[in-house]
Amino acid sequence: MTQSKTQFLFSGTGLAALAVALLVSVGVISSLPSLRIDLTEDGLYSLADGTRNIVSGLEEPIELLFFYSETAAADQPQIRSYGTRVQELLKEIVIASGGKLELTVVDPEPFSEEEDLATQYGVQAVPAVQGGPGIYFGLVAVELDADKEPALRVSETLPMIRPDQEEFLEYEFMKLVTRVANPELQVVGLLTTLDIDGGFDPMSGQATQQWMITDFIRQLYELRRIETDTAEIAEDIDILMLVHPEGLSPQTLYAIDQHVMRGGKTLVFLDPTADSMVSRSAQGSMIPAGMRSDLPGLLKAWGVDYDSGKVLTDNTLALRVQMGQGSRPVAHIGMIGANRSALAQDDIITRRLENLNLSSVGALAPIDGASTRFEPLVQSSSDAMLMNAALLEDVLDPSVLFDEFVSANERYTIAARLSGIIDSAFPDGRPVPAVDSATESDEAGLDIEGSEEASAEAVDPLENHLTRTEGETNILLFADTDLLTDRLWVQVGQFFGQRIPQPFANNGDFVINALDNLNGGADLVSIRSRGRYSRPFTRVVTMQRAADDRLRMEEAALMERMEATEAQIAELNTDENGQPLAQLSAEAQAEVDRFNVDLLETRRSLRDVQFQLTADIEALGANLKWLNTLAIPLLLTLAGLLMSTLRSQRRRASA
């Protein structure tokens, strides 16, 4: 029976049947494009749940125009492979949309209609190599509304898809789609006790200009002021931005709490010492007024520990400041220059930033057992400590802070992302306003006790009260407000009456990234960085580093010998009075010849190091190639032999 089956399998009819079965299998798999199995280590081809929720919930269809100069990139293998990966990701997103998204790949050749279309949408060609042809590599999302003219349709453009964006491509693509699906400007409600939006300086008697950060925000959002004594946050406020919320009433705190409970997005800036609140008298003394801000009760409900009486000092990240005209810059451990080592590199808000300038910041920490997730965005170095805020409020010479500094060998969190389910900080409902005075009660013909009873009867504390967030909520929390001030990140010039910003730090980008991140909703916020497709061989990298170290050591030794030889030649080439000889002496010439021999020998040694490195890498590659070529057939052969052995054993046992 087995022999007849084997003969049939290798006969013409059997091979034809096998081919038909294979074609049918391929056809079935091709007809199921949504069926995917991602076996990559980092899930490179698996979309985030937030992406699937966004594209499946689109109400109107959207077209994705991928402008990619495939012809011009034919001689650029790195760009070709990157273009292939981008297309694969876009196709996965289109498949997940269930027909709500369409993908069109456009190759804008020179002097073509496709090139005019790319220019129309703001996609520009960039040469991959100096003097080479320009390459288009951008993405445009356009709404497909049959009732609108093409020129009137909402569109968003990503002019250049850079290779350093690879880990955040899914986020960037979904941000485009979200903006097209929701084109109306989002409303940012600003509640602050600072003059961030302009104010009045009592010292000069003049009005002060608004901070440049508000100009940045107004370019992308509708900025609306909220009074600090408000008892309710309007539901049309998309993002609540709290800047130095100092001395808020229980009613205002309750309004903030309920905004969070109904899923409102929240951006909070606290400060233990708000430098912008400091005034200087004619004698130069500092007058603090409302310098500390806090959200009593709310932070605890959110699972965050914060002490408004402590200021973070950092010896490693300290900024150098000039305290007076003509004085030399000195390190100020109370002012922090957060470089890339202090910024979270796996979060979209801080991923591409280089440096943030901060001043007199606080520290945030998660509370043990909290229901929220606490993810640091900005952290200090380990050479840091917390000082009493009072020490920094009246400091004129920052060098005195070093007398109090003792490193805690701990990294403190300056900014963090909070997410999860949050319970209300007001379990008993809306707080009842207290009666202001007995005088008002007497004028109304009521005693104090009667007015309290009437107030309690008039307002039900639990009416429309939300006790818990319905789903995941997101709060971005920063323990500094000074990063928003112009002096720490931007120089503002004037040009024909227009304010022209010249940023020298990424503080503005940091705030806009935070707003953009919250603007996309919980689904967009949930999309984090993806793994990289290009992953180097760690053993090859180790070999290269070892070779580089050896090269540097031998080059350093060569430079030392060269300097010693030059000094010796100079000494041999001078007379007793220190004057140079007109002609090299025989000893000097012999030293030069000896050094030239050493130089040739050292260069030969350096070449041998490079040659050996190349040979080792090629040998490693050859071994890997043989291993990859033989491993699968060998494993299949062993598996076949094992199955055959087990089958034979079962047959003998049954016989």
Whether residues 273 and 418 share a domain: the answer is yes
Whether residues 104 and 215 share a domain: the answer is no
pLDDT at 624: 67
Asked if residue 312 is part of any domain, the answer here is no
Asked if residue 451 is part of any domain, the answer here is no
Rounded to whole angstroms, the Cα distance separating 281 from 287 reads 8
Domain count, the chain: 3
Asked if residue 505 is part of any domain, the answer here is yes
Whether residues 257 and 299 share a domain: the answer is yes
Of the candidates 225, 166, 173, 165, the one whose C-alpha atom is nearest the C-alpha of residue 195 is 225
pLDDT at 358: 95
Asked if residue 210 is part of any domain, the answer here is yes
Beta-bridge mates of residue 201: 206
Question: What string of DSSP letters covers 526-565?
Answer: T--PPPPS----HHHHHHHHHHHHHHHHHHHHHHHHHHHH
pLDDT at 544: 59
225 — pLDDT class (breaks 50, 70, 90): very high
Here the tokens at position 174 are 């979904």
What CATH number is attached to the domain comprising 239? 3.40.50
189 three-class SS = strand
Whether residues 235 and 298 share a domain: the answer is yes
Calculate the average pLDDT of the chain. 79
Asked if residue 496 is part of any domain, the answer here is yes
Q: Which residue do the tokens 């024909």 mark? A: 496
First to last CA, the chain: 17
Whether residues 547 and 621 share a domain: the answer is yes
| Res. 594: pLDDT tops 60 | yes
DSSP 580: B
Domain edge (last residue) among 159, 181, 203: 181
277-291, 401-415, 641-655: least confident range: 277-291
Of the candidates 82, 256, 243, 59, the one whose C-alpha atom is nearest the C-alpha of residue 165 is 82
DSSP 229: T
Domain that holds residue 558: 538-575+586-647
- pLDDT tens sequence across 27-77: 555 555 555 555 555 555 678 888 888 888 888 899 999 999 988 887 777
| Res. 573: pLDDT tops 70 | no
Domain edge (last residue) among 152, 181, 210: 181
Asked if residue 405 is part of any domain, the answer here is no
Whether residues 554 and 630 share a domain: the answer is yes
- pLDDT tens sequence across 330-348: 889 999 999 999 999 888 8
Whether residues 548 and 520 share a domain: the answer is no
Whether residues 57 and 133 share a domain: the answer is yes
pTM, two decimals, is: 0.64
Asked if residue 605 is part of any domain, the answer here is yes
Mean pLDDT, residues 498-513: 87
pLDDT at 272: 93
Cα separations in angstroms, 12 against 21, 25, 95, 99: 14, 20, 40, 43
Of the candidates 14, 122, 146, the one whose C-alpha atom is nearest the C-alpha of residue 67 is 122
* Percentage of residues in the chain having pLDDT higher than 90: 34
pLDDT at 458: 55
Asked if residue 4 is part of any domain, the answer here is no
| Res. 226: pLDDT tops 70 | yes
What CATH number is attached to the domain comprising 96? 3.40.30.10
Whether residues 135 and 259 share a domain: the answer is no
pLDDT at 287: 46
pLDDT at 343: 94
* Percentage of residues in the chain having pLDDT higher than 70: 70
Whether residues 374 and 271 share a domain: the answer is yes
Whether residues 552 and 486 share a domain: the answer is no
Rounded to whole angstroms, the Cα distance separating 28 from 547 reads 52
Whether residues 81 and 140 share a domain: the answer is yes
Beta-bridge mates of residue 126: 135
Q: Which of 32-36, 429-433, 482-486 has the highest mean pLDDT?
A: 482-486
Position 205, amino acid: G
Domain edge (last residue) among 133, 151, 181: 181
